[in-house]
Chain A
Amino acid sequence: MNYLKWLSFIFLAFLLQMHFFPFNQRLNLTVVVVYVFGLKSLSSQTRTYGFSSMAGTKSALFGACIGLIEDILSGAIIGPNFFSKGIIGFASTAIFSEVFFQWTRFWGGMALFGITLFDGLIFTGLRVLFTNLHINDFVFLQGIAAPAVINAAFGIIFRPRQ
């Protein structure tokens, strides 16, 4: 049941990303999926085993898989999303246990804002480095800053299990 839930969540995220463009901006919902997975797996692992390194590995793997699918779907070079989402998966398990310590709506929003910004920077950097892609300031802002602002709203909603 849990697998089915996550599968639907992933599929929905990809589908929404393809079809909805609020204010003509592209969404980056896969970051939200990876972040939420990190938050949730941290709580369950901590509850069960009392440590978070296993949750980190699991989330990094999950993130890398999501990134891999996103890379394949984009039709461009495979690797940038794989790398950035893998790192995000790992970071999202540590962010509320070792960086902010306690989740609040403000820090939740800030965390997802920062994570999305990080994802955009890594993705764009690797794409520019490994493909002959031309981007200008406008595309850069659209591709990085706008999704980060939109995702910050999701950061306010999704919280770790108590």
Chain B
Amino acid sequence: MSKSKKRLLIFFILSFIALMMMTYQYKSQNKGHSIFRETFSYPFNAVNSLIASARAAFNIHWNAVEENKRLKKEISRLLLEMQGYGEMAKENERLREILSLKPQMRNYATAARVISRGNDRLLKTIILDKGSNEGIRKDMAVITTKGLVGKIYKAGSSFSEVLLISDPNFSAAVRLQNTRQEGILSGTGRSYGILKYIPSEDAVEKGDAVVTSGLDGIIPPGLLVGIVTDAKKDETGFFQDIKVMPFQSMDKIEEVVILKK
């Protein structure tokens, strides 16, 4: 067989197999290779887990002294604050009783450690060291102490993947904390997100906090998301162009908490 014919044949075989596989997965909604994925990703995730543990141990040792000093200061500050919060919590409870409202529970599922960034180069994801064995399910909200991080995109048996709020495929129902105006927050691929569907006539100020509204039925309401850094009113459009900077930097996530729906 001549060289050019052989080339054509290789190209044809590769195209045929790839197109067959992709068409099949497209029709079956991309199900059926999770076993392969678990098998292939296991050695990488195990090594990632080891690296994350070693890195954490190194960081703990390195920062121990300074951390200790900082924590002592923090404890004394928090003790003072706690006295105030205790009073506020009691007052809050009393007011809730008056309004016949049940105290809202944060639907804690589990806490997990970030072991690496995701392997999909077109998605902004992170890999967690816990999976469905620990109760993690698809679409559960993922937060840190600073605010919303993303939602569970894929849940394997012992590892799971989080779609970060900075990814263009991420959307969440949110509201502005002060004005209670509802909108949709979408990722942009950059460090900030875009708050959509806020009418041009509504007043939005720089520094306004954005929280989840819970109206998407996926992410619980009241979670801190970010802060408005820029709000532009389009003369011709119906909605404003609002940039939101997440409270949690997406490059500095180490531990997260997963919440049930």
Q: A18-B48, A56-B10, A138-B190 are in contact. Are A74 and B120 (CB under 8 A)?
A: yes
Complex: A80 Cα to B122 Cα, angstroms: 12
Give A111 Cβ to nearest chain B Cβ, in Å: 18
Task: Select the residue from B18, B25, B51, B119 with max chain A CB neighbours within 10 A.
Answer: B18
- Checking B37, B44, B161 against A18 with a beta-carbon cut-off of 8 angstroms, the contacting residue is B44
- Checking B7, B17, B40, B122 against A127 with a beta-carbon cut-off of 8 angstroms, the contacting residue is B122
Number of interface residues of A (CB under 8 A): 48
Q: Given the complex, which residues of B lie within 8 Å of A124, measured CB to CB?
A: 122
- Count CB-based A-B contacts (< 8 Å): 121
Complex: A11 Cα to B41 Cα, angstroms: 11
Q: Given the complex, which residues of B lie within 8 Å of A77, measured CB to CB?
A: 22, 25-26, 30
Give B236 Cβ to nearest chain A Cβ, in Å: 22
Chain B interface bracket (under 10, 10 to 19, 20 to 34, 35 or more): 35 or more
Q: A60-B14, A75-B161 are in contact. Are A136 and B168 (CB under 8 A)?
A: yes
Of the 9-residue stretches A32-40, A83-91, A99-107, A151-159, which lies at the interface with chain B?
Answer: A83-91
- Residues of A contacting B: mostly: helix
Contact yes or no, B18 A72, CB < 8 A: no
- Residues on A facing B (Cβ under 8 Å): 11, 14-15, 17-19, 21, 24, 26, 28, 51-53, 56-57, 60, 64, 69-70, 72-80, 82-83, 86-87, 90, 123-124, 126-127, 130-131, 133-136, 138-139, 142-143, 147
